[in-house]
A and B are shown apart, each in its own frame.
Chain A
């Protein structure tokens, strides 16, 4: 079930477009911001709310990499794997992260604290290598500092 707040926020977005369907991506973001991800049940509820079929909305959801259709950890680490970061040390950074977390790309740590994902160029190439933890951009990362960086995400 969608909460009253979720429905209100989605209505605000829907009023900005010519059709209700246009709010689909906003609606899934609104749900994800509150619940961490977009479950099958949420897709069904949102589809009904936006006058779409669940299959159609799921088709939209599955196109976009920032819409999570599986449960994620309390914090999401997105490591840039594009060319400038590759040149500046993405691979050692990735290896260290995987070792530290005991979780590979696309996986969540056993304690549910972190999900590790690759992401396209984060547009901070002059400060490579970079990663996003939740909404925070970390730049010029030295793998030796990872402990300190991740410590504040409990």
Chain B
């Protein structure tokens, strides 16, 4: 089984410097692209590869780039922004890629930039990733020193600057247009779409935003071709995927596996099943903003289309496992408290709705709930759902809330009947 994304990653060891990275075949794809390929050919290769964005929404990467105005008459400058904010609770895959092989991300960023003919790329990194910041700074400096970045990259006439932007915090900074505002030195409120960033992004110029893992795939697609990339996957969506598991499993961790690996294999094989004395109650498949799946749904294939068909979303592909000794109401409360704290306050259904939902959930958890609170929570979940708010934070909050109310109804009702949390001693 091929594992291109993690081939250079050895946990606990320093990542390869530029020399080691080049010895392992690094920057070959960039050289090939800037010297021998037209930008449109790079985009076409990525389209053919069927690379779905790994930031959570699964949007086709090549298709996204194809909206950027190209050619002599396209107004510049153009920008790439790499989303390295990774603040979704339960997500821990981009950290691995940045700490494990920073040059892979730099090369991928340069390839994406070449494809849309960007002048500048920003890597938008959350503040708390201090080690990743140091490693990326160093990798960027090495790349400049060896001609992989800067004026006339690798002897071509293409020039590119990559800057590391260290975020000021807040989950909203990872939302595509919130991030644009953050880079411009503003509050990370989202922007109205359209216009889409590919046409009018940073300072009104064409900008493409992609997730770290999405970008890390690019050198491999250029080196080995779209057909090879598609063959890595078990389904129609190309490539491998960095999956992960947290919670009371025997071996929490991350694994690079074929896209579409069944959830059961993740839980039972790679994560080693549940810890002694714990039973599986539910799974959040891809970070806090995805719906619970039940143990009856373990056979779902973990790609974007299949998890969506099962009623949830692949999201980040890092699963959160709920065990029978943790309270589902408490877990839902924790998730909604996160969304409330991170709401930017722009839209009333989001900010006000979450405030109300958290109050009710906290009441139920504390033993002061009433049965009609459950109806109110149902309608709040519907109000937070897509269509009522400016950005996807509120719909993200609705996913665990609505699904918890459905799958763990019995547990909610028991809290109310007994006027206490059955899990607290």
Please list the residues of chain A having a beta carbon within 8 angstroms of any beta carbon in chain B.
16-19, 21-26, 28-29, 50, 59-61, 63-67, 78, 81-84, 86-88, 119-128, 132, 135, 137
Contacts and interface: CB of A to CB of B under 8 A. Distances in A.
B199 interface: no
Interface string B170-183: 11010000000011
Contacts of A122: 128
B185 A121 contact: no
Interface string B282-294: 0010001000000
A120 B87 contact: yes
A55 B188 CA distance: 16
Given A21-B184, A78-B128, A87-B320, A63 B89 contact: no
B16 interface: no
B349 to A, nearest CB: 20
B415 interface: no
Interface in B269-327: 284, 288, 318, 320-323, 326
Q: Which 9 A-B pairs have the closest CB atoms?
A: A64-B168, A125-B246, A24-B185, A66-B169, A82-B89, A126-B252, A84-B246, A121-B89, A135-B130
Contact of A125 (B161, B167, B244): B244
B128 A87 contact: no
Contact of B90 (A25, A26, A50, A125): A125
B45 interface: no
B165 A26 contact: yes
Nearest to B77: A18
Contacts of A88: 246-248
Nearest to B94: A123
A78 B244 CA distance: 23
A120 B357 CA distance: 19
B366 interface: no
A86 B248 CA distance: 11
Nearest to B326: A87
A64 B334 CA distance: 21
Interface of B: 77, 86-92, 94-95, 120, 126-131, 161, 163, 165-171, 173, 182-188, 202-203, 244-248, 252-254, 284, 288, 318, 320-323, 326, 330-331, 334-335, 338, 341-342, 344
A84 B320 contact: yes
B92 A126 contact: yes
Q: Which of A21, A22, A67 has the most CB of B within 10 A?
A: A22
Given A123-B94, A123-B129, A127-B252, A23 B331 contact: no
17 contacts: A17-B185, A21-B185, A22-B185, A24-B185, A24-B186, A25-B168, A29-B166, A60-B185, A64-B188, A67-B169, A82-B288, A83-B320, A83-B335, A87-B247, A125-B244, A125-B252, A128-B252
B91 A123 contact: yes
A81 B87 CA distance: 12
Contacts of A59: 187
B248 A87 contact: yes
Contacts of B246: 84, 87-88, 125-126, 128
Q: Which of A23, A126, A135 has the most CB of B within 10 A?
A: A126
Q: Which of A83, A86, A87, A126 has the most CB of B within 10 A?
A: A83
Nearest to B284: A83
Nearest to A61: B168
Contacts of B131: 137
Contact of B128 (A23, A66, A81): A66
Given A21-B185, A25-B182, 10 more contacts: A18-B202, A18-B203, A25-B167, A64-B170, A83-B335, A87-B248, A123-B126, A124-B92, A126-B244, A137-B130
Contacts of A61: 168
A25 B185 contact: yes
A57 to B, nearest CB: 9
Contacts of A121: 87-92, 288, 338
A22 B130 contact: no
Contacts of B322: 87
A66 to B, nearest CB: 4
A126 to B, nearest CB: 4
B245 A63 contact: no
Contacts of A16: 120, 161, 163
B254 to A, nearest CB: 7
Nearest to B332: A83
Nearest to B333: A86
Contacts of B95: 123-124
A106 to B, nearest CB: 12
Contacts of B247: 84, 87-88
A22 B341 CA distance: 25
